[in-house]
Amino acid sequence: MCRLMCTRVVWPDANGSVIVGRNMDFHMDLLTNLWKYPRGMKRTDGVEGNLTWTSKYGSVVATAFDLIGTDGMNEKGFAGHILWLVESEYGKPEAQATQLSQAVWLQYYLDNFATVAEAVEWTNQSQVEIAQLFDPTGHIVPTLHLALDDATGDSAIIEYTDGKPTVYHNRDYKVMTNSPTFDKQLELVAQVQGLGGDKPLPGSTLASDRFARASYYVEQQVQPKTQLDAIAAMFSIIRNAAQPFREPEPGHPEASKTIWQVVLDLTNRRYVFESTTRPSTVWVDLDELSFNEGTKVLRLDLVGRLALEGGLAGNVSHSFHDVGEVATEVLATGMTALEWVAKKQDDFVAIKKAVQDLVGKKKPVAAQ
């Protein structure tokens, strides 16, 4: 079973800017594009429809298969990052509970909050519950956690291990990777030399080792003289925590290669994207986009137009395009199908068991 294994790092004091880096690790191409969403979009929770909202802020979002938001930043410099956490247990939400589908979990936060503090307050008050989707790449039920950061340098991690949100909120929480849960990651990293302990800095691709390296190197940075220096420094940190292309490690089939990485300047609202399979760096300056209510949803085609030679490169803020009504309807249908399948998980399990029981009871055909 291949899983999403990623790293997120916040550098809150990069000479007056807040810089964030993130690796996306997965076993296959997620066909990631960037989308521009304006203010004033009407949305629903993707579950029972009890929670509806109109987006207060516009955002730029990196998606998986143009359906699921995985990473993004809104026009206020508030950002979110979805990563894998195998220990996640979302429970069975009550029908009347405040819920969000995993597909819109990140988008709700980008649509509604300007700061981490606002997001944390709402999360604690609402006790929002998360409804799982099926992973369209392998019929795996995704188990995810969410990292948040903003232009003040604040940070939070939201995890679900008993059906309810556990929120770790502190400006000092600069790194998030994967297993174990965040509280245990803090215990492990404190054993490393330079971070409170005496163990050498580890070098494997284990999530706990990537957590230690990212934590160590973000503390070792010198103040950048320019934004370019800051972005380059963050790329160096997340590349050190990246996972090379390789055969799965013995005993670790969940190990996944890094397929893309992003660096965000939350202060100056710049979103930098770099693919490892189509290695060319592009960036979007949110200040050059219109997020006015009534403007169109636009897509930046990274799947078809990002290439090492002859493709997109540099500032691509003006390269977003309208995908048209037909494509929008197809994507909406795909999202509805994902959410419908997720709601029928128990039914599918029962059917599978019934078929297995039936097959097991069939008498073998005698040899002729």
Half-sphere exposure of 59 toward its Cβ, with a 13 Å CA cutoff? 27
Q: What is the DSSP string of 311-351?
A: S--EE-TT--B--HHHHHHHHHHHHHHHHHHHHTHHHHHHH
Q: Identify any residues that bridge with 10 across adjacent strands, giving them in sequence order.
A: 20
- Strand 165-169: give its sheet, edge to edge: 165-169, 155-160, 144-149, 79-84, 68-74, 59-64, 34-37, 298-300
* Contact between residue 58 and residue 74 where contact means Cβ atoms under 8 Å apart: yes
- Between CA 333 and CA 349 the distance in angstroms is 24
Active site residue 6: yes
Beta-carbon contacts of 190 under 8 Å, excluding residues fewer than 6 positions away, are: 196, 197
Closest to 343 in 3D by CA, of 62, 74, 25, 99: 99
- Residue identified by tokens 């395009």 is 321
CB within 8 Å of 158: residues ≥ 6 apart: 123, 145, 146, 147, 148, 165, 166, 167, 168
SS (H, E, C) 94-117: CCCCCEEEHHHHHHHHHHHCCCHH
What lies within 8 Å, CB to CB, of 273 at 6+ separation is 34, 62, 260, 261, 262, 281, 282, 283, 284, 302
Residue in 4, 5, 6, 282 annotated catalytic: 6
Q: What is the largest CA-CA distance in the chain?
A: 84
Give the Cα separation of 316 and 339 in Å (integer).
32
Residue with tokens 């990246």: 242
SS3 for 253? Answer: coil
A 10 A CB-CB count for 30 gives 21
Cα atoms found within 13 Å of the Cα of residue 72, Cβ hemisphere only: 28
Catalytic residues: 6
